[in-house]
Amino acid sequence: MRRWSRWAIGALGVGFGYLAYVYLTLPDVRILASGNPESTAFIELRRDEAHDRGRSFTLRRRWVPYARISSHLKRAVIVAEDSAFFEHEGLDYEQIRESIEHSLEDGVAMRGASTITQQLAKNLYLSESRDPVRKLRELIITRRLEAALTKRRIFEIYLNSIEWGDGIFGCEAAARAYFGKSAAALSASESALMAGAIINPRVHSPARPTRRLLRRQQIILRRMGGVEPPPNAPPAAVDSGPIDDDRPDDPPPDQPPVDPPPMAPVPAPPPPRS
């Protein structure tokens, strides 16, 4: 009995030490509040995969500020990926419960239930592996992201970082690759196609949509009016709306004409001397 107790205490100590190691080696997400990530774990993963297969890897990625992303795309992505994004704190417990129930009923491993913040944590720092330790790291990073960043900032980084095709990362590169336009100029229909492709961007191409992707597009379009993404600027700032970064800055709006000050009367000339 005493030997069993020592073994149990030792196992608990090892487990606690490992969890402490996992926690202490997590990335510092606070730097994302003021700086954009130069790369992501998924970009490096795709680069390594191409290298292992003897293929070249061409990265297409172009960062654009939140205000230069179409509001149609913001709505479409929220509908397609995380309709409760603004209600939860990184984890959608109701969605997790439903996913577990479906998994038990179908007898398959749990899938889905990942929020936008969870997807961002995985894309930035982790891998596609489903091992429990990777999932634990994802959950902790998710909570850190929610604590350190605003929802608007999380969404901005997400839209600029996720994979949208072979070597295509971020909405700006995807919009130009599939529709030949900036992310600011995407229509509602184009946005719904792009959002629908996120589920498997290496299979579904918005430029050549499958029947499944077209069905997803129609579902997303019907639901887009029910969500409202964060405004383009904080309430205290002036929101100038989306701007196409390929165009020169718009001139300031014309000011109403200002009437000139009244002129002083011109004095009459003096009478001639006699």
pTM (global) more than 0.85: no
Which of the two residues, 72 and 4, has the higher pLDDT score?
72
Let me know the angle formed at the C-alpha of 173 by 167 and 178, rounded to the nearest 5 degrees: 90
Say if residues 136 and 22 touch (Cβ distance below 8 Å): yes
Q: Is residue 44 domain-resident?
A: yes
Task: Give dist(CA 209, CA 92) in Å, integer.
Answer: 30
pLDDT in tens, 49-107: 999 999 999 999 999 999 999 999 999 999 999 999 988 887 766 655 555 554 445 54
Residues found in the chain: 274
Which tokens is 138 given? Answer: 């994802």
pLDDT in tens, 225-270: 888 888 886 644 333 333 233 333 333 333 444 444 444 444 455 5
Structural domains counted in the chain: 1
Q: Is residue 249 domain-resident?
A: no
CATH no. for residue 160?
1.10.3810.10
DSSP lists the bridge partners of residue 205 as: 208
pLDDT of residue 10: 60
Q: Is residue 258 domain-resident?
A: no
* Structural domain for 21, as ranges: 17-29+40-226
